[in-house]
Amino acid sequence: MPLVVLCGIPCCGKSRRVEELKNHIESTTDRPVHVVSDESVGIDKNAVYADSRQEKDARAKLKSATEKKLTKETVVILDSLNYIKGYRYELFCLIKLLQTPHCVIHCDINPPVASQWNQERELSEQYTQEIFDGLVMRFEAPDSRHRWDCPLFTIQTDDELPCQDICDAIFHRKAPPPNASTQTQPLSSTNFLHELDKITQEVVNTLLDAQKTAVPGDHIYIPGAADKIYLSHVVSAPELRRHRRQFITYTKMHPVDDTAKLANMFVQYLNNSIK
């Protein structure tokens, strides 16, 4: 169940590279390939990338769709901008949790060339120039020195895609070791699920109460947790319930032997999820 993450500025040729890799894998292996893209999850790029809240929701949809498609046999290719290094780190945490290899393909291109390609598209498929320029400016290039960007394949416009090297990276490498907090362990007490439900609800209630007087930029203290929650924006109750459900699902699959760790684990999870 390897994951291939594409990244690059708009109109850099990602989808063409995805098709090349997909054809190579399907013709040389018996593994099914599934492509997750902005189009496959219904993202209107000009509307989404003009609004930070919509953009955050779009990234969550892409990540969720990717997670659902990852199986023991399927190769998942995430064909999107993936231009934020923090988001690529989230994807790396996902593959660590699922114990599968991954790689990153950076489609490198000169921005004026990409801009020209954008203008040559059908009008309905173009990025507006304002959105295009903003995404180019915000693009955080991958760096192979970061474990979440490694192994990294940087492809220039005229380069041939090293399909076999990419296949070797995703099929013949060991998956990264899981975080200690997510390693599967036997339940140490019969009330683990009760404690998990109780502690996460207490964290949510504490954060909701704190937000009544806090302002964005504050650090919220949570009883029982060493870390604090950084409040980048006011988080709604429905959003917190969604994050709580996701955390509970993960933790039920990978329980820990010390329930005293749960509050801090949930705080760390929220800090990564509500940026």
Tokens, residue 111: 């921005």
User: Which architecture does CATH list for 3-171?
Assistant: 3-Layer(aba) Sandwich (3.40)
Whole-Å CA distances, 227 to 45, 242, 264: 35, 21, 6
Q: Say how far residue 97 (Cα) sits from the centre of its chain.
A: 12
Of 78, 70, 74, 92, the C-alpha closest to 25 is 74
pTM of the shown model:
0.66
Q: Average pLDDT of 261-272?
A: 91
Whether 95 has a pLDDT exceeding 80, the answer reads yes
Average per-residue pLDDT in the chain? 90
Whole-Å CA distances, 184 to 177, 188, 251: 12, 12, 9
Q: Which of helix, strand or coil describes residue 82?
A: coil
Whether 63 has a pLDDT exceeding 80, the answer reads yes
Q: Average pLDDT of 200-217?
A: 90
Whether 270 has a pLDDT exceeding 50, the answer reads yes
Those residues with Cβ within 8 angstroms of residue 206's Cβ, 6 or more apart along the chain or in another chain: 220, 222, 223
Using pLDDT thresholds of 50, 70 and 90, give the confidence band for residue 126. Answer: very high
Residue ranges per structural domain of the chain: 3-171, 180-273
Of 240, 220, 242, 239, the C-alpha closest to 229 is 220
Omega of the bond leading into 177 within 30 degrees of 0 (cis): no
pLDDT in tens, 128-171: 999 999 999 999 999 999 999 999 999 999 999 999 999 999 99
Q: Strand 75-79 relative to strand 33-37: parallel, antiparallel, unpaired? A: parallel
Using pLDDT thresholds of 50, 70 and 90, give the confidence band for residue 187. Answer: very low
Per-residue pLDDT, 193 = 85
